[in-house]
Amino acid sequence: MEHRHANYDTLVLGAGAAGMMCAAHAGARGGRVLVIDHAKAAGEKIRISGGGRCNFTNMYAGHENFIGQNKHFHKSALSRYTQWDFLDLVQKHGIAWHEKTLGQLFCDQSAKQIVAMLCDEMARTGAHLSVDTSIIEITHTDGRFHATLEVSGKRKTVTARHMVVATGAKSIPKMGATGVAYQIAAQFGMGVTDTRAGLVPFTFPEGRFVPLAGLALPVRATAGGVSFDENMLFTHRGLSGPAMLQISSYWREGEEIEINLLPAADPFEILRAKRQEQGRKNLSTELASLLPAKLAEDLSKSWTLKGNLADQSDAALRALSERLTGLRLTPSGTEGYRTAEVTVGGVDTDGLSSTSMMSKTVDGLYFIGESVDVTGWLGGYNFQWAWSSGVAAGKDI
Ligand code: FDA
């Protein structure tokens, strides 16, 4: 087998959102930069993101939109390379964009434009890209990282003064996610927090929501003490939609979630007023004027609601109202990494500098993007973290 050697200043593992951004900035500082990825092309997750249009950032991105054991770690990188900085880059490349909802910015045409933009930036700053390249072994001697790689079946050793781990996390193994960042962190004596699937649909006992599958409605959903006002979608396997994806990142196995089915109304006041005006109206029928008919029917059945409005005491109406605004359910689980948009948890930020993303114990070793224990909400926040942490490392190199 042919074996070749090459020396670089910086080796970036992973040509995803964070890795490419970092490489472009490291390249701009003049050093020789190599970015490798085991996929056939760079930026595969970007390409499929946001339904093919890439929700590349969020106008309202702020530190409260991120989860991690250390609530302050992400602030530095995010404040030094903001959503407006990334938007400037997008505009410089002539990519048309629009706000879809809640500050979420998408490409008008295609997510491929973001991939092309990052490839252009790398080419402009002289960073080299090597796809179809697997990591066989990494060692660190004499202040340099030595990576044995396999490039299209051929072994090659690359040495570099700096190594940036940008291999993402565990979400969607089908798309090349490996969790190798955690192995590298462990190899270099760095901590990794517990990881779990985030931004992922909930599953419920088989058949529970089948009659309601396809139905969507605005709700206020709560898990782990955090609430989101967004849409919820019933599926054949459970509950999805943005409200559920958002709270899934705060949910722990076995816990309840709480759903307010009428966040914009006070059902007790409405039902009490209706009882006065039209007491002979059937309670279940009245529920269908507040909620989608199928859902009202399902709830009436499972809560065995009976009688007319006039039959209901204030206490009964209050109890019903509390159920509607505080529906408590215990998911059996989530769809897991197979469909999760992100991984919650990752390389422990206690071991990293928040300004440079460099390890506090291994000089020249950086972790960026989703590999790190920083997770954004749904809505462009995760890409913003990839850009910001990538720039923080790239500028430090
Ligand atoms: P990313 O996963 O992008 O890149 C890691 C790279 O490392 C990959 O190219 C991978 O092939 C490579 N790699 C992994 N293991 C390797 C190994 N052993 N050897 C070599 N290479 C290896 N976020 C958002 O803000 N807006 C959105 O619209 C979406 N949409 C979206 C849709 C879907 C379906 C998913 C799954 C995720 C999203 N996200 C999102 C989340 C977003 O994609 C994610 O947070 C970022 O891509 C993370 O960027 P990274 O560069 O850290 O990892």
pLDDT one digit per residue (tens) for the chain, 397 residues: 445 669 999 999 999 999 999 999 999 999 999 999 999 999 999 999 999 999 999 999 999 999 999 999 999 999 999 999 999 999 999 999 999 999 999 999 999 999 999 999 999 999 999 999 999 999 999 999 999 999 988 999 999 999 999 999 998 888 878 889 999 999 999 999 999 999 999 999 988 899 999 999 999 999 999 999 999 999 999 999 999 999 999 999 999 999 999 999 999 999 999 999 999 999 999 999 999 999 999 999 999 999 999 999 999 999 999 999 999 999 999 999 999 999 999 999 999 999 999 999 999 999 999 999 999 999 999 999 999 999 999 999 9
Task: In whole angstroms, give the CA distance from residue 270 to residue 286.
Answer: 10
Distance 62 CA to ligand 1 centre (A): 21
pTM, two decimal places: 0.96
The ligand 1 atom nearest the CA atom of 384: 25
Helical H runs in 251-366? 267-277, 283-290, 293-302, 314-325
Query: Using an 8 Å Cβ cutoff, are 369 and 299 in contact?
Result: no
**CB distance 66 to ligand 1 below 6 Å:** no
**CB distance 168 to ligand 1 below 6 Å:** yes
Mutate to test the pocket of ligand 1, among 341, 371, 385 (most ligand atoms within 8 A of CB): 341
Take atom 32 of ligand 1 and give the residue whose Cα is closest.
49
Task: In whole angstroms, give the CA distance from residue 344 to residue 385.
Answer: 13
Token output for 160: 């570099």
Burial 42-79 (b: 16+ CB within 10 A, else e): bbbbbbebbeebbbbbbeebeeebbbbeeeebbebbbe
Task: Indicate if ipTM > 0.95.
Answer: yes
**CB distance 369 to ligand 1 below 6 Å:** yes
